[in-house]
Structure 1
Amino acid sequence: MNINATLFFQAIVFLILVWFTMKFVWPPIAKALDERAQKIADGLAAADRAKSELSAANQRVEKELAQARNEAAARLADAERLAQSIIEQAKARASEEANKIIAAAQAEAEQQAVRAREALRDQVAELAIKGAEQILRKEVDAKVHSDLLNRLKTEL
């Protein structure tokens, strides 16, 4: 055989192999490579989206934490104001109660003073009668003396 014929047949076989490879082998390999590239691109895009979503979620969490802190501070301030108000009300009630007790004690003292004056008037009247009896040493009408004593009580 001739080297040219061998070379010619080898070229034909090579072209058939190239044609077979391009027709049946290369398309599935190219398709698999394209699918793999698409999956990688989708994965990278999903990672970027997840990263941006994580950043947005962190910002929302920070905002909510700040809002919760502000609400807690506001509630604490409200509680302190309420406590101050309750303390002030208790002080006012205690002051009113003390004033009532003082007024009652003063009224009781005045009543006792009035009773003491009445008792003192009675005693003065009795002493006046005894003194008059001792001075007069005679019997006197009791009804007349009681009227005189009553007038004396009213004058005292």
Structure 2
Amino acid sequence: MSITGTLIIQIIVFLILVGFTMKFVWPPITAALDERARKVADGLAAADKAKADLAAADKRVEEELAKSRNQVAQQLADAERRAQAIVDEAKGRATEEANKIVAAARAEAEQQTVKAREALREQVAALAVKGAEQILRKEVNAGVHADLLKRLQTEL
């Protein structure tokens, strides 16, 4: 065999091999590569969508947290206002009660003062009568001197 014949046979075998490979081996390989490229692209698209969903979810969570913080702050402010109102109301009631107690104590003190003055007047009148009786010892007419004693009692 000559080198030219060998070379021609090798070229023919190579061409048959290339044709066989292009017809039977190459299409499944390209299909597999295309399928893999499509899966990778789908995976990347899904990852991008997941990132966008995560960002949107984070934004919603932040909005809800801000809303919750505002509600809690408002509820605390309302509670503080209610507590202050209750304290003010209790102070008002306590002040009214204290005023009533003071007024009652003053009235009672006034009554006791009047009673003490009356008792003192009666005692002074009795002492005056005894003193006058001892001074006059002669004759004391209760009917005649009752008017004098009444005037003396009212003056005291």
How far 1:43 sits from its partner (Å)?
Answer: 1.2
Partner residue of 2:66?
66
Partner residue of 1:125?
125
- Structure 1's unaligned 5+ residue stretches are none
- Structure 2's unaligned 5+ residue stretches are none
Q: What SS does structure 2 have at the residue aligned with 1:109? A: helix
Partner residue of 1:21?
21
* CA distance in structure 1 between the partners assigned to 2:93 and 2:108 by the alignment: 22
Aligned residues: 150
- Please say which of residues 52-61 and 121-130 is displaced more in the overlay: 121-130
How far 1:75 sits from its partner (Å)?
Answer: 1.7
How far 1:140 sits from its partner (Å)?
Answer: 6.1
Partner residue of 2:36?
36
Q: What SS does structure 2 have at the residue aligned with 1:32? A: helix
* CA distance in structure 2 between the partners assigned to 1:35 and 1:94 by the alignment: 86
- Please say which of residues 93-102 and 126-135 is displaced more in the overlay: 126-135
How far 1:42 sits from its partner (Å)?
Answer: 0.8
How far 1:36 sits from its partner (Å)?
Answer: 1.0
* CA distance in structure 2 between the partners assigned to 1:112 and 1:33 by the alignment: 115
Q: Which amino acid letter does the alignment assign opposite residue 87 of structure 1?
A: V
- Please say which of residues 90-99 and 12-21 is displaced more in the overlay: 12-21
What's the TM-score once normalised by structure 2's chain length?
Answer: 0.78
* CA distance in structure 1 between the partners assigned to 2:22 and 2:38 by the alignment: 22
Q: Which amino acid letter does the alignment assign opposite residue 120 of structure 1?
A: L
* CA distance in structure 2 between the partners assigned to 1:37 and 1:67 by the alignment: 44
Q: Which amino acid letter does the alignment assign opposite residue 150 of structure 2?
A: L
Same amino acid, percent of matched pairs: 68
Partner residue of 1:152?
150
Q: Which amino acid letter does the alignment assign opposite residue 83 of structure 1?
A: A
* CA distance in structure 2 between the partners assigned to 1:19 and 1:138 by the alignment: 174
Q: Which amino acid letter does the alignment assign opposite residue 46 of structure 1?
A: A
Q: CA offsets, 1:21-40, max 9 Å, x none?
A: 12321122112101110111
Q: What SS does structure 2 have at the residue aligned with 1:55? A: helix
* CA distance in structure 2 between the partners assigned to 1:138 and 1:99 by the alignment: 58
Give the RMSD, CA atoms, in angstroms: 2.8
Partner residue of 1:110?
110
* CA distance in structure 1 between the partners assigned to 2:24 and 2:129 by the alignment: 153
- Tell me whether 1:90 sits opposite 2:112 in the alignment: no
